[in-house]
Structure 1
């Protein structure tokens, strides 16, 4: 009776396991990014970064906030909203008083939590961006990722990982996957 040679069991190396884990983590992160982009379009959600501490301690400088654009008629006193200003950066403060509602436009006052005085003039607009939540310290990380050297390093690492993932791998000599072994019909 002829007995065929058993193929040696192949054990994934630590490097192979780490690479597989990294590819899985990156694929999951990519899927989350796609979902976030779709949600941003569907729900009209964007991010804003805080460079000042006018909303401290609730939203300290260096925070990133998730905001959603809504009609101004939906805001209430106490909401933290972002308002576009002509010829100036948008401002994000807490609504302190709603003065008038005329159709779709609302006139209201705001004040930063850390500010002693309210903003100098009321705002009149038909849309605002309401702060849903914020993450302290994230603006620093995002700003750091915009550095050309960091972007270059990320690109090189991503290219190396993709190259490694798709690099052809040979099967071990003598295994049943080895075409030469299958052709020879080696028996014991």
Structure 2
């Protein structure tokens, strides 16, 4: 196997992996845009050891009436306005009104202010260790620029021509790549 063929095979395989990741990312983006899921990157250790800093969580919407004490939920903090993922300590739901008290597993005290009937409630369904840290680094120039160069290299590798296969000329392409049929050689004087 020639080096060109190995490089072409590796480039093609890497390109398929990159395309698959792209399709999955696009699907997650679309599901996020229509409100089906919310990807969350854990930035503090308040839920360790169950949920670690740098983990990626995929959460879905939940009705407050469907939550129970002990569930992990994500809500907008009334104090800071940022999303907080903690365990529910107490919950009171009356019709459309609700009040939820939460606490991080690694914290000694409940969150200072209860979460009261505002904004969506999310519950983590999928947890991918360390992927959040990787996703956060994707937006930095030190990763984007080499990443784009790598994708360009993969495309070039995938397009390398196998030297054992003849190139197709313009005439061959117009002829529909039909094989040429040659007449057998005949002896002199035959008609």
1:33 aligns with 2:25: yes
Higher strand share: 1
- Describe the superposition over 1:2-35 as per-residue Cα deviations: whole angstroms up to 9, x where unpaired: xxxxxxxxxx821222122122222322332333
* Contact 1:72–1:128 (8 Å) recurs in 2: yes
Q: 1:94 to 1:178 in 2, by over 3 A?
A: same
Report the secondary structure of 2:125's partner residue: strand
With structure 2 as the length reference, what TM-score do the two structures score?
0.74
* Partner in structure 2 of residue 94 of structure 1: 87
Distance 1:20 1:53 in 2: 40
Moved more, 22-31 or 140-149: 22-31
Structure 2: runs of 5+ lacking an equivalent: 173-178, 186-191
Instruction: Tell me the residue number matched to 2:114.
Output: 122
- Measured in 1, the distance between the counterparts of 2:47 and 2:89 equals 13
SS at match of 2:50: coil
CA distance in 1, matches of 2:114, 2:56: 25
CA RMSD of aligned residues (A): 3.3
The match for 1:49 among 41, 57, 60 is: 41
Report how many residues are paired.
Answer: 174
- Deviation string for 1:104-132 (max 9, x for gaps)? 23112111101111112221125311111
Distance 1:176 1:85 in 2: 64
Check the 8 A contact 2:8/2:158 in 1, yes or no: no
Cα distance change of structure 1 residues 47 and 72 upon mapping to structure 2, 3 Å threshold: same
Deviations 1:71-104 (A, max 9, x none): 2222111111111134612211100111x32322
Mapped to 2, the partners of 1:178 and 1:122 lie a distance apart of 73
The yes-or-no answer on 1:145 pairing with 2:138 is yes
Conserved? CA contact 1:50–1:61, under 8 Å: yes
Distance in 2, matches of 1:118 and 1:80, equals: 14
In the superposition, relative to structure 1, how do residues 85 and 15 fare at CA in structure 2: closer, same or farther (>3 Å)?
same
**Partners of 2:64 and 2:93 within 8 A in 1:** no
Q: Determine the C-alpha separation between the residues in 2 that align with 1:46 and 1:33.
A: 13
TM-score by length of 1: 0.75
Q: Distance in 1 between matches of 2:48 and 2:30?
A: 31
Q: Which of residues 143, 155, 158 is equivalent to 2:151?
A: 158
The 3-state SS of whatever aligns with 1:134 is: strand
